[in-house]
């Protein structure tokens, strides 16, 4: 038997068609000036080097599950559905180590006995979760799937660490995918995805997991926050997203100059610009919301889809290339032709 995935036949069965988009942002805005009252940084530096003016922060009583619930409700309203067969939740900040957050969100949505599980692939999580959902649909295991990306990054960011605190924000976005005919507008895929665990320590929360549990009670408090080698991650993000996006366009049979919109993970404005530049996609085709929401990790791509759709940047017939990258390291890219009749619920 061959071990070459290139020789596997293309998936048959129904395709995953996007039918609804929703988002939710906690109301509290945190400006750069507010952050810098305790951080050795400045509004000018953060705007110039990251492209962020403000981000949202959930109150301490509000969890990832709460943000996910609101975004999921809105995506279902946008799709005009009252039930789904499965909920896949991408997050780096689950409400608990155990159990997964998705079943509780499904329960609160009133989805009785629905399949519900979390996917962890850092900021690439939403695109990974979409690939998993598309697989469930094409295998005939589900016909309607909610895919949610939700984060309370404020729970795992050290407010005194200037290499992470200015970057991240809280929020959630969601889509509904439904079984449909392959080739019609709104179909997601093919997907190009992968990981490189040799760089697992480039973005890591050192304490609190099964590794080094012998130091559970003695780990320094800072080890419960994200540690990131930002500059190194920056270079990998540009390289991996450029390559994955190029391959996803090729797999869809698109030339890069035929791409109408690039939806790129809002990691850092300069990363997004470098990826677009490497692909030769002009800034006018690359919607962005990082200035006002920051880097919302797994929520970044669905939030941008919702905001870009709401602002009229995504029009029916547009060829949309989607790409994300995050801890793991992990990356994923896919394509869709923006379908008619989508009204994002914000
Ligand atoms: O979402 C997926 C995963 N995450 C990412 O993709 C994030 C990737 N990384 C980044 O976005 C950027 O690397 C950061 C925003 C984290 C840092 O920006 P940078 O342009 O890569 O800065 P740097 O680490 O190369 O540091 C350049 C200089 C240094 O000073 P010296 O040594 O040149 O004097 C830093 O100490 O900037 C300094 N610096 C800061 N200065 C003011 C680093 N962070 C800050 C800060 N404010 N917040």
Residue 49: CB within 6 Å of ligand 1? yes
How many structural domains does the chain have? 1
CB 337 within 8 A of CB 313: no
Q: Give the residue numbers spanning the domain of 22.
A: 1-346
Tell me: the pLDDT tens digits for 231-280?
999 999 999 999 999 999 999 999 999 999 999 999 999 999 999 999 99
76 phi, psi to nearest 5 deg: -65, -40
Residue of 66, 148, 62 whose CA lies nearest to 108: 66
Decide the pairing of beta strands 86-90 and 144-151. parallel
Residue 47: CB within 6 Å of ligand 1? no
CB 42 within 8 A of CB 202: no
* Chain center to CA of 108: 22
Residues in CB range of 126: below 8 A, 6 or more apart = 90, 147, 148, 149, 173, 298, 299, 300, 301, 302, 324
Mutate to test the pocket of ligand 1, among 195, 230, 269, 271 (most ligand atoms within 8 A of CB): 230
Is residue 128 annotated as a catalytic residue, yes or no?
A: no
Is residue 96 annotated as a catalytic residue, yes or no?
A: no
CB 170 within 8 A of CB 314: no
Residue 237: CB within 6 Å of ligand 1? yes
Residues 24 and 57: their CA atoms lie apart, in Å, by: 12
Residue 230: CB within 6 Å of ligand 1? yes
> Which one of the listed residues 36, 123, 307, 313 is annotated catalytic?
123
> Which one of the listed residues 24, 36, 128, 265 is annotated catalytic?
265
Is residue 123 annotated as a catalytic residue, yes or no?
A: yes
- Mean pLDDT by groups of 10 residues along the chain of 346 residues: 51 90 98 95 98 98 98 98 97 97 98 96 98 97 98 97 97 98 95 98 95 90 95 98 98 98 98 98 97 98 98 98 98 98 97
User: Looking at residue 168, what DSSP letter applies?
Assistant: B
User: Looking at residue 10, what DSSP letter applies?
Assistant: P
Locus of tokens 């789904």: 84
* Helix (H), strand (E) at residue 136: helix 125-138
- How much is the pLDDT for 10? 59
Q: Report how far ligand 1's centroid is from the alpha carbon of 101 (Å).
A: 32
Residue 267: CB within 6 Å of ligand 1? yes
Indicate yes or no: pTM above 0.85.
yes
Write the residue with the smallest CA distance to atom 25 of ligand 1.
Answer: 231
Q: Which is the closest atom of ligand 1 to the Cα of 165?
A: 48
* Helix (H), strand (E) at residue 244: helix 230-252
CB 241 within 8 A of CB 333: yes
- How much is the pLDDT for 217? 87
Q: If you write DSSP's letter for every residue of 14-36 in order, what string do you get?
A: -EEEEEEEEEE--S-EEEHHHHH
- Residue 249's beta-bridge partner residues? none
Read off the CATH number of the domain in which 56 is found: 3.40.47.10
Q: What 3-state class would DSSP assign to 100?
A: coil
- How much is the pLDDT for 6? 53
Residues 83 and 91: their CA atoms lie apart, in Å, by: 22
* Torsion angle defined by CA atoms of residues 270, 275, 281 and 282, in that order, rounded to the nearest 10 degrees: 10
């Amino acid at each position: 038997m061959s071990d070459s995935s290139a020789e596997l036949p293309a998936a048959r069965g129904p395709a995953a068609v996007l039918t609804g988009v929703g988002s939710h942002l906690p109301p509290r805005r945190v400006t750069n000036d507010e952050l810098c009252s305790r951080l050795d940084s400045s509004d000018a530096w953060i705007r110039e080097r990251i492209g962020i003016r403000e981000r949202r922060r959930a109150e301490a009583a509000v969890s990832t599950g709460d943000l996910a619930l609101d975004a999921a409700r809105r995506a279902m309203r946008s799709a005009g559905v009252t039930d789904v067969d499965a909920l896949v939740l991408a997050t780096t900040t689950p409400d608990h180590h155990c159990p997964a957050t998705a079943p509780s969100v499904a329960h609160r949505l009133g989805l009785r006995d629905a399949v519900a599980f979390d996917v962890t692939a850092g900021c690439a999580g939403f695109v990974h979760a979409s690939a998993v959902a598309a697989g469930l649909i094409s295998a005939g295991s589900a016909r309607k799937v909610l895919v949610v990306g939700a984060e309370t990054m404020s729970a795992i960011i050290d407010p005194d660490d200037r290499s992470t605190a200015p970057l991240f924000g809280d929020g959630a976005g969601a889509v509904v995918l439904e079984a449909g005919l392959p080739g019609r507008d709104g179909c997601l895929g093919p997907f190009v995805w992968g990981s490189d665990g040799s760089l697992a320590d480039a973005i890591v929360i050192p304490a609190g997991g099964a590794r080094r549990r012998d130091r559970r009670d003695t780990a320094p408090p800072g080890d419960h926050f994200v540690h990131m080698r930002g500059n190194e991650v920056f270079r990998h993000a540009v390289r991996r997203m450029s390559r994955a996006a190029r391959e996803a366009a090729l797999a869809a049979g698109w030339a890069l100059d035929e791409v109408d919109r690039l939806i790129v993970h809002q990691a850092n404005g300069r990363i997004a610009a470098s990826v677009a530049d490497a692909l030769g996609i002009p800034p006018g085709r690359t919607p962005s919301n990082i200035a006002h929401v920051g880097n919302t990790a797994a929520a970044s791509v669905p939030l941008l889809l919702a905001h870009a759709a709401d602002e009229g940047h995504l029009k029916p017939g547009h060829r949309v290339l989607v790409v994300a990258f995050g801890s793991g390291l992990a990356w994923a890219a896919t394509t869709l032709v923006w379908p008619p009749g989508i009204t994002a619920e914000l």
